[in-house]
Structures are given as structure tokens and as C-alpha cells.
């Protein structure tokens, strides 16, 4: 039964690789992105213009954006935490940028050394600049269920942060279960609150599989109307500032699951499996 289209937003080349201890050569990252481009993704997160001092793995982001094949119909995203990062992303010809906020104060301080309010002040000018050049901006919300520092997060707080991102001009808001603490019940309660503030068609689920519940949380989200999910090929990644965030849900598993449920993803499972093997090989070095 065809249930319509479901999109997977591939975050492996950025969110997946940022934690790896081995310094991965730019050429390997380019090869991974090019393989993913051939697999049929329309959006791939490939770069992060943060200080190399804090995330050394992303130091070659401009070279990656400069070296990839860029077939028609694929948009390459870059994380931009501040104005300098935004300017670097534009110079490197990123197809879209992403800004990130947290639904918990504790994580915001640990992740970007700023309060939630300060984070918004920091990226307000980015959104203003992006609007003038028609640059799409995606917003991320971290710790939408639980924070490693503050504990349980109130769904109303997630809705408030998501609403601000959307109101400021983010075309889509990705909701991150950063430490994989979510259950179908807590994800559903969070989504009930958030979709009151942001249309569900503008929401994405970003679920870590730390506790093996990402698939159940995707199913809960599907029942609430969410049709975009972030995933990292090979199940790589996590967050350097979230203890226990052991891995994004694997793209190859999510795609097989969605197709099995009757959704069209437009992706080539064989090429995704090939990319997953490549990504895991990069981790092993």
C-alpha cells in the first residue's frame, strides 16, 4: 500500500562524523557525500562552520563543499553557529544553512557556552542576512525530551523554542532527541505541543538510537503526521557535548523500515548500504 512520500534528511557526513577521533581526510568525506548524492537524497548535511578548536573533524568543511560533485536536485547543508560561520558557508556555496538551539538551559550552556536567549540573539542576524539572499535556513532543537544536565524537558518549552525558530524564518524545524531518551509516549506528548505552534509539515524528527527506541519513536511521529526524519548512514555520530549520545539512527535501517511500511522515500537501498559500509570503514580507519 502506497502511503505517500517520506523524506530522509541525511546527516552522516556532518553529525555522523563530527565525533570520530580519527582525522578523516577530506577526500574520504567527498567520496561519501558523492555516493550519498547518487543514492537519491535531496538534502545532505555535509559541513559545519564551527571553530576547528572545538570540533576539529569539521576543519575541512569548505574543501568538502568545494570538492563534491553537486548533481542537480541535491542541496548541501552546513551548520552555522555564528555570523562568521554563516559567511564562510556562503563563501563555500552551501545550499542551505542550519542554526541550532536547545530546549534546555543546561545543554545550551554546555554545547555553545550561551543561554537559550543568547543563542537566539546570536543567530538572529544570520536569519536576517539569509533572508536577503534567499538562503534556506533549517532550525534544530536539541534535548526535546530529556537533557543530560537538566533532566526531563517540558514539551511546552520545546514548542516555545520551535515556534521562535519558525517565526524567525526557519523553513523546517528538526526536533532532536539528543541522548536517545525518548519513548513513543514522550515523543508523542512533545509533538502534540510543538505542532500547536509549528505546522507538522514543517517538522522533522531527529532521533538517536542510544536506547534502541528510535524506530518506535519514528512510528509514533508518523502517526502524528511527521514525514521528514534525520538519519546518519552507518548509524554514526552523536554529540560531543551530550554524554551517552551514542549514535544517530542508521539511514539504511530507517529507509528499509519506511519502505516496508509502504512509504516512498525515492532512495536506492543498495547504494545506501554501500555508503554505510564506507562510513563504518571511515570510523575504523
- Is 46 within the bounds of a domain? yes
pLDDT of residue 285: 60
From 258, 264, 207, select the one nearest 231 (Cα to Cα): 207
CA dihedral sign, ordered 61, 67, 69, 70: positive
* CA–CA separation, 278 and 285 (whole Å): 10
In a domain, 70, yes or no: yes
pLDDT digits (tens, 9 = 90+) for 57-81: 888 999 999 999 999 999 999 999 8
Per-residue pLDDT at 244: 46
Give the chain as a 3 state SS string: CCCCECEEEECHHHHHCCCCCCCCCHHHHHHHHHHHHHCCCCEEEEEECCCCCCCHHHCCHHHHHHHCCCCCCCEEEEECCCHHHHHHHHHCCCCEEEEEEECCHHHHHHHHCCCHHHHHHHHHHHHHHHHHCCCCEEEEEECCCEECCCEECCHHHHHHHHHHHHHHCCCEEEEEECCCCCCHHHHHHHHHHHHHHCCHHHEEEEEECCCCCHHHHHHHHHHCCCCEEEEEHHHCCCCCCCCCCCCECEHHHHHHHHHHHCCECCCCHHHHHHHHHHHHHHHHC
Q: Which domain holds residue 145?
A: 7-284
Domain membership flag for residue 184: yes
Q: What are phi and psi of 79, to 5 degrees?
A: -80, 130
d(CA 94, CA 96) in angstroms, rounded, equals 6
Structural domain contains residue 98: yes
Based on the structure, what is the number of domains in the chain?
Answer: 1
Flag whether 109 is in a domain: yes
114 belongs to a structural domain: yes
Q: Would 229 be classed as within a structural domain? A: yes
Domain-embedded: residue 2 = no
φ, ψ of residue 42 to 5 degrees: the values are: -100, -15
Question: Is pLDDT at 241 greater than 70 in this prediction?
Answer: no
pLDDT over 60 (residue 238): no
Give the number of C-alpha atoms closer than 13 A to the C-alpha of residue 238, restricted to the C-beta side: 16
Please give the Cα distance from 92 to 85 (Å, whole number): 10
Tell me the mean pLDDT in the region 189-215. Answer: 96
* pTM of the shown model: 0.96
d(CA 128, CA 108) in angstroms, rounded, equals: 22
CATH number at residue 169: 3.20.20.70
More confident residue, 153 or 15: 153
Catalytic residues: 239
Among the listed ranges 47-61, 64-78, 112-126, which one has the minimum average pLDDT value?
47-61
Amino acid at each position: 500500500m502506497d502511503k505517500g512520500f517520506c523524506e530522509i534528511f541525511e546527516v552522516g557526513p556532518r553529525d555522523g562524523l563530527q565525533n570520530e577521533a580519527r582525522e578523516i581526510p577530506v577526500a574520504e568525506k567527498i567520496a561519501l557525500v558523492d555516493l550519498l548524492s547518487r543514492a537519491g537524497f535531496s538534502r545532505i548535511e555535509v559541513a559545519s562552520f564551527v571553530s576547528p578548536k572545538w570540533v576539529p573533524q569539521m576543519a575541512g568543511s569548505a574543501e568538502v563543499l568545494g570538492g563534491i560533485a553537486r548533481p542537480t536536485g541535491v542541496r548541501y547543508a552546513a551548520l552555522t553557529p555564528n555570523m562568521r560561520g554563516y559567511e564562510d558557508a556562503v563563501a563555500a556555496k552551501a545550499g542551505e544553512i542550519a542554526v541550532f538551539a536547545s530546549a534546555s538551559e543546561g545543554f545550551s550552556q554546555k554545547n555553545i557556552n550561551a543561554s537559550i536567549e543568547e543563542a537566539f540573539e546570536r543567530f538572529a542576524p544570520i536569519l536576517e542576512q539569509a533572508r536577503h539572499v534567499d538562503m534556506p535556513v533549517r532550525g534544530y532543537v536539541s534535548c526535546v525530551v530529556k537533557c543530560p544536565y537538566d533532566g526531563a524537558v517540558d514539551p511546552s518549552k520545546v514548542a516555545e523554542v520551535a515556534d521562535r525558530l519558525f517565526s524567525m524564518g526557519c523553513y523546517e524545524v528538526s526536533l532532536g532527541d539528543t541522548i536517545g531518551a525518548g519513548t513513543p509516549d514522550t515523543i508523542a506528548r512533545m509533538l502534540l505541543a510543538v505542532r500547536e505552534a509549528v505546522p507538522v509539515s514543517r517538522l522533522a524528527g531527529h532521533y538517536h538510537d542510544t536506547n534502541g527506541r528510535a524506530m518506535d519513536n519514528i512510528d509514533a511521529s508518523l502517526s502524528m503526521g511527521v514525514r521528514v526524519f534525520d538519519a546518519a548512514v552507518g548509524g554514526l555520530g552523536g554529540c560531543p557535548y551530550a554524554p551517552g549520545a551514542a549514535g544517530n539512527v542508521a539511514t539504511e535501517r530507517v529507509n528499509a523500515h519506511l519502505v516496508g511500511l509502504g512509504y516512498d522515500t525515492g532512495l536506492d537501498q543498495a547504494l545506501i548500504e554501500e555508503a554505510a559500509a564506507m562510513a563504518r570503514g571511515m570510523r575504523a580507519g
